[in-house]
A and B are shown apart, each in its own frame.
Chain A
Amino acid sequence: EVQLVESGGGLVKPGSSLKLSCVASGFTFSSYGMHWIRQAPKKGLEWIALIYYDSSNKYYADSVKGRFTISRDNSKNTLYLEMNSLRSEDTAMYYCAPGRGLAYWGQGTLVTVSS
Chain B
Amino acid sequence: DVVLTQTPSILSATIGQSVSISCRSSQSLLDSDGNTYLYWFLQRPGQSPQRLIYLVSNLGSGVPNRFSGSGSGTDFTLKISGVEAEDLGVYYCMQATHALTFGSGTKLEIK
Contact = CB atoms under 8 A, between A and B. Distances in A.
A17 B84 CA distance: 44
A47 B102 contact: yes
Interface residues of B, number: 23
Contact of A35 (B48, B50, B100): B100
Main secondary structure of the interface of A (DSSP, over half): loop
Interface in B61-100: 61, 90, 92, 94, 96, 99-100
Nearest to B99: A59
B100 A50 contact: yes
A63 B99 CA distance: 14
Contacts of A105: 48-50
B32 to A, nearest CB: 14
Contacts of B50: 105
Interface stretch (A21-29, A81-89, A94-102): A94-102
A45 B91 CA distance: 11
Contacts of A44: 90, 92, 102-105
Given A100-B37, A102-B39, A47 B51 contact: no
Interface in A35-59: 35, 44-47, 50, 59
A9 B45 CA distance: 21
Interface string B1-43: 0000000000000000000000000000000000001010101
A106 interface: yes
Interface string A74-115: 000000000000000000000100001111111110000000
A107 B44 CA distance: 12
A107 B50 CA distance: 11
A31 to B, nearest CB: 17
Contacts of B101: 47
A35 B49 CA distance: 14
Nearest to A106: B48
A47 B100 contact: yes
Interface of A: 35, 44-47, 50, 59, 95, 100-108
Given A100-B37, A101-B55, A104-B51, 5 more contacts: A44-B102, A44-B104, A44-B105, A101-B51, A102-B39
